[in-house]
Amino acid sequence: MLGTFRWAVVALLLTAAAQAAPYTIKVEKAAPPKDLSPDVAAALSDESVQLLNAKGKVLAQVWFCKTVHAKSAQFTGTPTYQDLQETSLLGAVRYPAEIRDYRKQKIKAGLYTLRLGLQPMDGDHMGTAPDPYFALLVGAAKDKQTAPLKDGKQLFELSSKSIGKTHAGVFLLFPLDKAPAEPKLVNKGSGTWAVEWKETATAGGQTAALPIALTLVGHTSAE
């Protein structure tokens, strides 16, 4: 009887281990990296979100902007990515080791800014992502300003040069109806994990929480 009980306990422990999330996040006070330009660093929160694997190794560390400015004069409801100007600065991310972006491209270890990008509506991109908004990576040394860039083309070129590819480095942004009270890591299915958080968006004299859902792990299913 005792042996049966012990085996039941072992089975439960093994099941729990198998069901354990492969990733977790850790939120901590951390000043933005000094490798960023002073203007960009000043725009970022001193609270960072770390992505950890099952062994506790840091895979990514993200700093979101304290405030983002909307292109519209006022909000008609909860702000969305559509309220922001394309190429707006969203934050910065440091990768301690090489990772792969949403297109499965190899991204070298390093520090990058995150800027809002819009997927082109053409035949090369149709069906490659469930939503059209992305965070594009730009090498910290190539991105000194906090204001939006000239246009999406400039952002694409800066991002592709930063990662040494013909395509920009991209991470999918999921839409959210409501901003969470605290950062949380959410399994979006198909091996995709996103951190959900909020930034303060301003439009004129109005402020509101902008929900953010940034993919940290996961790739497109398109070939």
pTM, two decimals, is: 0.87
pLDDT for 7 equals: 43
d(C-alpha 172, C-alpha 196), whole Å? 12
Look at residue 18 and tell me whether its pLDDT is greater than 60.
no
Query: How large is the average pLDDT for residues 114-122?
Result: 84
Query: How large is the average pLDDT for residues 141-157?
Result: 97
**Is 73 in contact with 130 (CB distance < 8 Å)?**
no
> Among residues 205, 177, 213, which one has the least CA distance to residue 75?
205
